Amino acid sequence: KFEAVTMAPPDPILGVSEAFRADTSDAKLNLGVGAYRTEELQPLVLNVVKKAEKKMLESGENKEYLPIEGLAAFNKATAELLLGADSPAIKEGRVATVQGLSGTGSLRLGAAFIQRYFPGAKVLISSPTWGNHKNIFNDAGVPWSEYRYFEPKTVGLDFEGMMADIKDAPSGSFILLHGCAHNPTGIDPTPEQWEKIADLIEEKGHMAFFDVAYQGFASGSLDQDADSVRLFVKRGLEILVAQSYSKNLGLYAERIGAINAVVHSSDVAVRVKSQLKRLARPMYSNPPVHGAKIVANVVGDAALFDEWRAEMEMMAGRIKTVRQRLYDDLSTKDKSGKDWSFVLKQIGMFSFTGLNRAQSDNMSDKWHVYMTKDGRISLAGLSLAKCSYLADAIIDSYYN
């Protein structure tokens, strides 16, 4: 009977790593997946993570099941990191937090919640967006459509288009927003634009669903990167927020994150939390403990927390340095006078180069540089030493 099973297509992002592994060239460079590398292009385990793990080992922690909603100390820490330790919403018990299987699993739980309690409600997703968003809502059976976001002519935000599409969506839609460091474009709304987005969502009776996968990676400040979310909370709007610790704590494989619902009363929060747990139980019963304990230890210890912030600044700083070098190399090598300054304006781990599919193919086929076919490169996977080579590859591909 399994004979009838057809071959699934590779993941457009994770599939890039498979192609990279199969390439035998010494020059090869993997700028596909957004995962931090050192200048030596090696994965990095943060010192604070090692310290937290040492502490956990020494205290002889057990491997008992967690409750369905996850580790209490983690849920407290993650809501405080998101909303601020002095957040009135937390103090008033208006936040329902459930530990999730990193950003993806938390988004999936949020999608299941929408499907169950808001049947027929549509989710609006930015065009473009992280490739997995559409899969997540498709698999949860939630209808979605796109709102305009990226303007190729200016390599900037199509704010008018975005607002018009949110306005046109049926009242009560969920608007999926990247909390900071938009993936793949690296372009975020300004604080003034966030205000207008909040106005419109409130006016239309929509609900914001934030995806926060890069807190600390956009501005370098954990607080500032949560400003978009906190603005909505301060206005008393109900929101959903998925969080991930893959990038900011480098816990990719630990699958640690959370889904938060900020609601109008503590009564509602208790009910929403009970339903999120009900959705989680038949899917995976309860979440893994290791990453949750690492986060709880790091966020809950003042010294480790400070050290974490310094390590995050170091990572974000290295990405900014290669961003600058790549821009310098592109500007000096390209004699056409093209303005490459968009590379500097983009924030976060990625640069959206504007290379099309054929040009991206040239990058891998001729130059052994692997990137996603939408023209995105991960600067987190680039070293200073490789910038010049990459600039040559981009210019060659761009004008071919």
| Residue 351 interaction partner, one of ligand PLP, ligand TYF, none, beta carbon < 5-8 Å per kind | none
Contact at 8 Å (CB) between 348 and 186?
yes
Q: Residue 183 or 260: which CB sits closer to ligand TYF?
A: 183
Q: Let me know if 310 is exposed, middle or buried by CB neighbors in 10 A (0-12, 13-18, 19+).
A: exposed
Name the burial class of residue 86, with classes exposed (0-12), middle (13-18) and buried (19+) by CB atoms within 10 angstroms of its CB.
exposed
Q: Binding partner of residue 211 among ligand TYF, ligand PLP, none, CB under 5 to 8 Å per kind?
A: ligand PLP
Closer Cβ to ligand TYF, 30 or 115, answer by number: 30
Applying CB under 6 A, the site for ligand TYF has a residue count of 9
Reading the block at residue 163, the tokens are 């607002």
Nearer Cβ to ligand PLP, position 78 or 362? 78
Q: How far is the CB of 4 from ligand PLP (least distance, A)?
A: 31
Among the listed residues 78, 97, 99, 102, the single contact to ligand PLP using CB under 6 A: 102
- 334 classed as catalytic: no
Catalytic residue among 158, 165, 211, 225: 211
- Is residue 132 within the footprint of ligand TYF (CB under 6 A)? yes
Taking CB atoms, the residue at the shortest distance from ligand PLP is 103
Please list every residue from 280 through 309 that binds ligand TYF, using CB under 6 A: none
Q: Is 165 among the catalytic positions?
A: no
Is residue 183 a contact point for ligand TYF (CB under 6 A)?
yes
Is residue 246 a contact residue for ligand PLP (CB under 6 A)?
A: yes
Question: Beta partners for 193?
Answer: none
Exactly one of 36, 74, 130, 370 binds ligand TYF (CB under 6 A); that residue is 130
Establish if 101 lies at the interface with ligand TYF (CB under 6 A): no
Cα–Cα distance measured from residue 181 to residue 128, given in angstroms and rounded to the nearest whole number: 13
Q: Determine if 45 is a binding residue for ligand TYF (CB under 6 A).
A: no
373 catalytic residue (yes or no): no
- Give the integer Cα–Cα distance in Å for 201 and 175: 8
Span interacting with ligand PLP, options 39-47, 67-75, 102-110, 137-145, rule CB under 6 A: 102-110
Contacted by 11, from ligand TYF, ligand PLP, none: CB < 5 to 8 Å by type: ligand TYF
33 touches ligand TYF by CB under 6 A: yes
- CA-to-CA separations, 55 to 188, 297, 301, in angstroms, rounded: 38, 9, 11
Q: How many residues bind ligand PLP (CB under 6 A)?
A: 14
Task: Map residues 152-191 to x or -, x wherever contact with ligand PLP holds by CB under 6 A.
Answer: --------------------------x----x--------
Q: Whole-angstrom Cα distance, residue 179 to residue 294? A: 23
Beta carbons within 8 Å of 400's beta carbon, 6+ residues apart: 359, 362
Task: Considering the candidates 130, 144, 308, 367, report the single residue annotated as catalytic.
Answer: 130
Contact residues for ligand TYF (CB under 6 A)?
A: 11, 13-14, 33-34, 104, 130, 132, 183
Active site residues: 130, 211, 247
Contact residues for ligand PLP (CB under 6 A)?
A: 34, 102-104, 130, 178, 183, 211, 213, 244, 246-247, 252, 257
